Amino acid sequence: MTAPILIVDDSPQNLLVASRHLESAGHRVVTRSSGEQALALLESDRFDLVILDVLMPGIGGFETCRRIRANAAFADVPVMFMTALGDRDATAPALDAGADDLLAKPFTRSELLLRTSALIRQHRAVQKHRADTADERAKILASVSRLREISRGLDGEIARKFCEELANLEHSCERV
């Protein structure tokens, strides 16, 4: 499953390690070193996953995640944090910011690939469901539109028959 993935970390070494692991699995990886750069890139490019470091200069990972979630254009992209903080120090704030998963540093290639695959699979399933729902909604709206047209046609036919009956009654009344 090839996917576009954005990795955001101020450590070139962390970017290199994570990128190599993901690229070796066939993913297209784009890296940025700050939250500001990541948010600017998300305005123009689409990703199936964003991987954020927690501690970065400028906009940190938690705030970057909050801003991702606040922007309707890309709010549904999965976000996974990479952190060297202890689980208790990072888990609650990460989840509160909108994270989908956390990965403790140092991590293994296997764990990185398994977690990213799971998040990408879930994201694509949600996208497919939304597309299917949108298609069904479009079909239903088209059917409603056709039924309205038929209804207008029936109303016109009923009105025409009513007018014919009135004319016949008027004609009958004239004979009497």
161 occurs within a structural domain = no
171 occurs within a structural domain = no
Write the DSSP symbol of residue 74. Answer: T
Tokens of 67: 């801003």
pLDDT digits (tens, 9 = 90+) for 73-129: 999 999 999 988 665 678 889 999 999 999 988 899 999 999 999 999 999 999 999
- Candidates 127, 122, 102; CA nearest to 46 is 127
115 occurs within a structural domain = yes
140 occurs within a structural domain = no
Q: Residue 62 belongs to a domain with what CATH number?
A: 3.40.50.2300
60 occurs within a structural domain = yes
143 occurs within a structural domain = no
pLDDT digits (tens, 9 = 90+) for 46-76: 999 999 999 898 999 999 999 999 999 999 9
29 occurs within a structural domain = yes
Residue 46 domain boundaries: 4-131
Q: How many domains does the chain have?
A: 1
Q: In what order do the strands lie in the sheet with 28-32?
A: 28-32, 4-8, 49-53, 79-83, 101-104
* pLDDT beyond 70 at 35: yes
Burial class (CB in 10 A: 0-12, 13-18, 19+), 98: middle
